[in-house]
Structures are given as structure tokens and as C-alpha cells.
């Protein structure tokens, strides 16, 4: 996976403009994450300006974390415009499975062919696979590598998208190829659940990588890069306040060697 380092350099050089329609909780978090990795974020949701924004954007990230009827309208309009303007969409179905509104909104957005990548946790993707389960809020409790693989393949094939499924081990698949992304996670395990928006950071920076590498490689690079960043931050910070600060520092400092050292990407299929 030597190309991941080059992908990071591409993001820094090209500074892709990533348009985000995201949740209120992480707007600041994801804008700062995109800036730190070297991309250029824009947050905009007004239906009246979506055409102008998406025209100049290199990728669109739609995150349903604090959705309501007005924002759903904007998300759907953005997805349609992205199809028309041929811009790739990354969907983060935050909380799918926790409420019917979230599951249905995510599924409806998935029907749009501009959605090239879905990045979610186990519980969210379980819900999108047509199985129904209740996730405990946005945290997925269930962690089973084998079921995770099947679910990710199922969602990818069913919706014709690249799936990035994050958890202790991450899986990325386009329905044919399947990759796992792992780290030793010793330091990470305790602190990683104590900062909000880490999954949202992954989908935001995946938008930047998809802009320079396309859906499959972009999702692999986005998830692998963030896993390395989180590892490096957790080595320096054992508490959530400091860990949060170090995430931006490491998004800024990360390079191909650090990713190779901290993360193992395996091709399973």
C-alpha cells in the first residue's frame, strides 16, 4: 500500500474542495480535519446555493448526524446535483438503525447514483443491509469480524457502492475486492470512544481522498490514514481532551511511512 503516502501528498498538493452537508456536532471538527490533512472544506446547506457550491467542489460529503426535513431536502438536492455535475458523493449514515428516519434517509440517498462511497460503523451498515437492528445511539456495540465482512459485501453489491466499515478492524469493499485495515490498537482502544466525530472525520477526509484517487482507493486511503493518525495521537495522549488536539496535529504531520508503520492493509478478496 505504498501508494497511500502518495495519495496524502496528492491531497496536500491539489487541495481538493470538499463540500460538506454535515451535522451540527462535527461541523467544526470536520472542517478542521480537512484543513489539517491539506484539503479545502466548505460547509453549505442552502438549496439556493448548492448548484454554485457543487459546481466548484471536487467531492461532496453528506452526513445525516443531525438531520431534519429541511436538511434532508438539501441532502437529496445535493445528491441529484452531484449526479448531474458528475461529482462523487461520500455518504455517512450516522445513526442508521437507531431511528427509522435515519435508516430511510440513508437508503433513499443510496438510491442516487452519485453516492460512490458509504462510510459507516457496523451497526449503521447492518441497518443498510436490510437487516434491522437497533444501535445504541451512534455507537455500535456489536463487533464481529466475519459478519462485518459479509455485511460490507452485501451493502456494496446491493447499492453498487464502495463500503467503508469502521470498527476495531475496518473493511473496505467495492463488492468484488475486499480489504481489511488493522492496527495494534493498544493505546487506541480506551480513548478512541471518548471523542465525538471520529467517524465523521473519516468520512470527511475520505471525501478528499476520493477526489484525488477515486472511490475504492480513496476510501482505503482515507480510512487507513485516519487509523494511523488515531494510533499516533493515542500514543501521545491517554486522555480525550489532549487526544482530540493531537488528532489535528497528526492529520497535519501524517505521511506514507507513518501509515505503513502503524497500519496493516490486507487484501482479502
We find the least distance from the C-beta atom of residue 57 to a copy of itself, in angstroms, to be 8
- Give the CA count within 13 Å in the CB-facing half-sphere of 112: 25
Given 3-state DSSP classes, what are the helix, strand and coil percentages for the chain, each rounded to the nearest 5? 55, 15, 25
Torsion sign across C-alpha atoms 218, 223, 228, 234: positive
Residues 5-44 that bind a copy of itself (CB under 8 A): 15, 17, 23-29, 31-32, 35-36, 40-44
Instruction: Give, in degrees to the nearest 5, the angle at Cα 14 between 13 and 18.
Output: 130
Q: 151 with 124: CB under 8 angstroms? A: no
Residues 145-164 that bind a copy of itself (CB under 8 A): none
Residue 226 sits in the site that holds a copy of itself (CB under 8 A): no
Residue 98 sits in the site that holds a copy of itself (CB under 8 A): yes
Of 176, 194, 266, 267, which one interacts with a copy of itself (CB under 8 A)?
A: 194
The Cα 213–Cα 206 span in angstroms is 10
Q: Which residues pair with 42 in a beta bridge?
A: 19
Q: 207 with 219: CB under 8 angstroms? A: no
Residue 242 sits in the site that holds a copy of itself (CB under 8 A): yes
Which residue number, 26 or 216, has a Cβ lying nearer to a copy of itself? 26
Stretch that binds a copy of itself, among 3-11, 97-105, 109-117, 151-159 (CB under 8 A): 97-105
Binding site residues, a copy of itself, CB under 8 A: 15, 17, 23-29, 31-32, 35-36, 40-49, 52-53, 56, 65-70, 95, 98-102, 134, 136-139, 191, 193-197, 239-242, 244-249, 251-253
Amino acid at each position: 500500500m505504498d501508494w497511500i503516502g502518495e495519495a496524502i501528498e496528492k491531497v496536500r498538493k491539489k487541495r481538493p474542495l470538499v463540500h460538506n452537508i454535515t451535522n451540527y456536532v462535527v461541523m467544526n471538527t470536520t472542517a478542521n480535519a480537512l484543513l489539517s490533512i491539506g484539503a479545502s472544506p466548505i460547509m453549505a446547506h442552502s438549496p439556493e446555493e448548492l448548484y454554485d457550491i457543487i459546481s466548484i467542489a471536487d467531492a461532496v460529503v453528506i452526513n445525516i448526524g443531525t438531520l431534519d426535513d429541511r436538511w434532508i431536502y438539501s441532502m437529496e438536492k445535493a445528491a441529484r446535483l452531484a449526479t448531474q455535475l458528475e461529482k462523487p458523493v461520500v455518504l455517512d449514515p450516522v445513526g442508521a438503525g437507531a431511528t427509522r428516519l435515519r435508516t430511510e434517509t440513508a437508503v433513499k440517498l443510496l438510491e442516487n447514483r452519485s453516492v460512490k462511497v458509504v462510510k459507516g460503523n457496523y451497526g449503521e451498515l447492518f441497518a443498510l443491509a436490510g437487516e434491522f437492528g437497533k444501535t445504541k445511539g451512534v455507537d455500535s456495540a456489536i463487533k464481529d469480524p466475519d459478519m462485518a465482512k459479509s455485511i460490507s459485501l452485501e451493502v456494496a453489491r446491493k447499492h453498487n457502492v464502495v463500503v467503508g466499515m469502521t470498527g476495531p478492524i475496518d473493511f473496505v469493499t467495492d463488492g468484488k475486492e475486499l480489504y481489511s485495515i488493522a492496527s495494534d490498537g493498544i493505546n487506541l482502544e480506551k480513548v478512541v470512544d471518548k471523542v465525538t466525530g471520529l467517524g465523521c472525520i473519516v468520512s470527511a477526509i475520505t471525501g478528499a481522498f476520493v477526489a484525488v484517487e477515486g472511490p475504492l482507493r480513496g476510501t482505503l486511503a482515507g480510512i487507513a490514514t485516519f487509523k494511523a493518525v488515531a494510533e499516533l495521537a493515542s500514543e501521545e495522549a491517554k486522555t480525550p481532551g489532549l487526544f482530540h488536539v493531537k488528532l489535528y496535529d497528526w492529520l497535519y504531520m501524517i505521511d506514507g511511512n507513518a501509515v505503513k508503520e502503524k497500519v496493516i492493509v490486507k487484501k482479502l478478496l
